[in-house]
Amino acid sequence: MPAIHKSSLRRTLALCGAFAVTGPDSTALAQESTTEGLLETVIVTASRVPSAGQMLPTAWSALDQTTIERIAPQHSNQVFNRIAGSWVSRGNGQESLISLRSPVLTGAGSCGSFITAQDGISMRSPGFCNVNQLFDANLLQAGKVEVLKGPATVVFGSNALHGIINVLTRSVSETPNQLRFEAGSRDYYRASASGAIDGLALSAQTTRYGGYQEESGYQQRKATVRLDQDWQDWRVSGVIEGSDLDQETAGYIRGFEAYKNESAREENPNPEAYRDAWSARGYLSFSRVVGTGGELLLRPYWRSNEMTFLQHYLPWQATETNRHRSVGIQAMVSGLTPRLRWLAGIDIDHTKGSLFEDQAEFFSPNQPDGVHYDYDVQAETLAGFTQLNWALSDRWQIKGGLRLEETRYDYRNLTAPGPACAPTASACRFFRPASREDRFSDWTGNLALSYQTDHATTFARAARGFRAPQTTELYRLQSGQVTADLDSETIDSVEFGLRGQQGAFAYDLAAYWMAKENVIFQDRDRYNVSGADTLHRGIDVTFSWALSDIWSLRGNGAYARHRYDSDIELIGSRGTIEGNDIDTAPKHFGSLRLLADLAPFGQAISAELEWLWVAKYWLDPNNQNEYAGHELLNIRGAWQITPRVTLTLVATNLLDEGYAERADYGFGSYRYFVGEPRSAVLGMTLAL
C-alpha cells in the first residue's frame, strides 16, 4: 500500500400492556418476547424525547447495538442496506452518497437534502454540508441508528428534505469492556476497544486497508468519549467524538460495462487522487423533570471540520480545502397532561467557514491553473418550533408542529471578483461573486393522524421541508453565472403507513408522494442547473418473520419513481427532460436476510445469509445511458467459544460478481466506482 496523505426515559416503556411491537429492523424482535408482549422500541429522533415507536405517525427505522455489532460495518452502506427506502452508494474508500426516499444525489443540491446527525445534532453546519459526511460517524461503536424518512419533524430544520440519519452514541451503561481485532482480504486490519467506569466511557477504533485498485487504500481513526452523571436534579450527558481519514482514492474506471473486465476493475485512472479529512464535535446535555411528566433540555454544542481532496472526477483536477467551526445550542421544554403532550424550543447555530480551490497545472483557457475560489462565510441560524400531540381517544391521536427558521450568510471574497480566467477565455468555468450578504426565511410543518388497535397502527401524514442554499451553491459560481439567484428548496409530502404484528410476523409499510421545487442538480458535464421541479412516489416495506426458535427471515424493499417535472432542455437531450427518470434512481432495491440462532439449544452460534439487489437505473438526466443493476450475496457468522471470547466472520460478494457500486455518465463516457470482489474478514472479540 502506498504512503497515505496526510427523564430520563419517560418511563422505560418496559413491558407494554396488552401488546407492543418492536420495529422490524431491531434484533429484539422474537428475542425479547414475553407472554405479555414484546419490548417496545423507543425513538428519540422524532421529538428529542423518548417516544414509543409503534405510535409514531411517521415512517422510521432503527438498528440497535446488537444488529450493528453483527454487521461489523467496514463502510456505512453495509448498515443502511437494511433500511427500506435507503441506499447509501459506496464510492472509493470511505466515500459515499446517500439515497433516502430519493435518487442517489451528487454535486450541487445533494448533501443538503439529508441531515446526518449525532445524538440529534447535525454533524455539519446547515450551509456547509458534504456528500461524504457519513464517514465522520462512529457507526461501528454506536448504540443505535435511527432513520426518519421524508420531511422531518419540526425539531429539525434546513436540510431535512428527504430524511434524517441520527447516530446515537452508547450510554456509559451500554458500553462494553472489550477488545476486538479484525483482519481480512487485501490487507484489511481493524482494532477497536471500549470500556466504562464511574460514569465515563471510551470507545475507539483504528483501521487500515490496502485497497483493491492500484494505489488505493486508507487509514482511519475514530474515538468517542461519553459522560453520564446525575447532578442535583439534573441528568448530565456529554460526548466528544473525533474522526481522522487519510485516503488514497481510486477514481472512476471508464468504458461501457468496464466493471465486468477483471483487469480493468483493478486499475486506478487517478493514482494521484487523495482525500484527507478530520472532524471533531462535542456537546453537554442538561435535562431535568419539570411539572408532571415534562422535561427541560439544554444542549450547547460545538463542531469542527476540515477536508482537503483532489477533484479527480473533473478533468482539470483542482484541489479543494474546506473547513468550518461552529457553536450552538438546542433548548427545549416539554409538558404532559393525560391527553396532551407538547414541546417548544429554539435552536441557535453560529458558524465560520471557508473554501479555497486552486489548480496546479494549466488545463485550458477556460480551466486555468492558479486560484479559482478563496472565500470566508459567517453563518447564523435561528429557529423556533412547537409541537403538539393530542390523544383524541384511547386509539386516535393527532399530531402537528410548526418551525420558523432564518439563515443569514455574510460572504467575503478574498480574491479578485469576476471570472478566474484571462479575458481571452471563451467560457470561463469559474466565477467569483463580490462580497455580499444573503438571508433566507423558511418554515416547515407537519400534521398527522394515527389510529392504533391491539395489533397495528395506521397513520396519515402531511409535511413540508426545506433546504436553504448551501454556501458552495451561492458563492462558487460557474460559467455563465454572475450571481446565484437561488431560493430555498422546498418539498411537500403526503404519506400513509401501517405497522403491526400478527403472531410471529411483524411488518411496516409506507406509501408516499413528494413534490420538490427550486431543485438544483448537475447535468452530465457537471454544470449546475437550478430552478427545477421533481416528483417522488414510492412504497417502503419492512418485515420480520420468526419461522421457529432457530430460524427467522427479515427483509426490506422499496419501489419508487423519481422524475423531473420541469420543461428544461439540456445539452444532448432529445427535447425537454420533463417526465424523465432522475439519474441514479433504481425503481426498486432492497435486501433479504435468513438468520439462524442456535442459542435456544445451548450452542452460542449464529449466522446470517444476506441477499442484496439494486435494479437498473439511468446514468444521466437525458435518460440515454443505463446501468444494468446487480445482485450480491453476503454471509455473517459468530461463535462464542467461551464466555469471554467470540469469533466472527463477515464474507461479502460470495459469488464474486463484477459490479459497480455506483455508475454515472459524465464528460462523454461511462464511469464506474468498482464494486469489490469476494472478500472475507475474520474477527475476535475479547470481553474484559
Any residues with CB less than 8 A from the CB of 673 and at least 6 apart, and which? 89, 90, 91, 92, 252, 660, 661, 662, 663
CA distance 151 to 512: 11
Long-range CB contact pairs, 615-618, < 8 A, 24+ = 615/586, 615/587, 615/588, 615/589, 616/586, 617/581, 617/583, 617/584, 617/585, 617/586, 617/587, 617/663, 618/580, 618/581, 618/582, 618/583, 618/584, 618/585
C-alpha cell at 354: 471557508
Q: Return the closest-CA partner of residue 170 out of 293, 64, 49, 26.
A: 64
Torsion sign (Cα): 105, 379, 488, 367: negative
First vs last C-alpha separation in the chain: 33
DSSP string, 513-530: EEEEEEEEEE-TT--EEE
pLDDT at residue 6, as a whole number: 39
Given this model, what pLDDT does residue 2 score? 42
Q: Which residues of the chain have pLDDT under 50?
A: 1-39
Closest by alpha carbon to 599, among 30, 15, 26? Answer: 30
For the chain, state the CA radius of gyration: 24
Q: Please, which residues bridge with residue 357 across strands?
A: 320, 373
Q: Are 179 and 686 in contact (CB under 8 A)?
A: yes
CATH class of domain segment(s) 42-687: mainly beta
Q: Nearest-CA neighbor of 324 among 409, 239, 431, 246?
A: 409
CA dist 130 and 136 (Å) reads: 11
Q: Which three cell numbers stand for residue 265?
A: 476493475
User: Which residues does residue 263 pair with via DSSP β-bridges, in sequence order?
Assistant: none
Quote the CA–CA distance of 335 and 326 in Å, as a whole number: 30
Residue closest to 607 by CA, chosen among 596, 599, 598: 596
Distance (Å, rounded) from C-alpha 285 to C-alpha 294? Answer: 16
Q: What values do phi and psi take at 625, rounded to 5?
A: -135, 140
Q: What is the pLDDT of residue 484?
A: 74
SS3 136: helix
Distance CA 36, CA 28 (A): 15
Per-residue confidence (pLDDT) for residue 275, from 0 to 100: 96
Give me the amino acid identity at 349: D
C-alpha cell at 192: 477497536
Domain ranges, ordered by start, for the chain = 42-687
At residue 628's C-alpha, the angle toward residues 626 and 631, to 5°, is: 150
Structural contact between residues 651 and 637, judged by C-beta atoms closer than 8 angstroms:
no
Give bridge partners of residue 596 from the DSSP assignment. Answer: 551, 607
DSSP letter for 623, please: S
Give the burial class of 160: count Cβ atoms within 10 A of its Cβ; 0-12 exposed, 13-18 middle, 19 or more buried: buried
Q: What are the Cα distances from residue 664, in Å, to 3, 214, 575, 586? A: 29, 21, 21, 13
Element holding 634 (H helix, E strand): strand 630-642
Burial bucket for residue 651 (CB in 10 Å: 0-12, 13-18, 19+): middle
Q: How many of the other CB atoms lie within 10 Å of CB of 547?
A: 14
- Here the cell at position 301 is 454544542
Q: What are phi and psi of 475, to 5 degrees?
A: -120, -5
Closest-CA residue to 438 (of 411, 478, 420): 411
Per the CB < 8 A criterion, the answer to whether 7 and 287 are in contact is yes
| 8 Å CB contact between 258 and 251 | no
Q: How far is residue 204's CA from residue 539's CA, in Å, rounded to a whole number?
A: 38
Q: How confident is the model at residue 108, as a pLDDT?
A: 67
Q: Please name which of 442, 440, 447 lies closest in space to residue 466, comparing C-alpha atoms.
A: 442
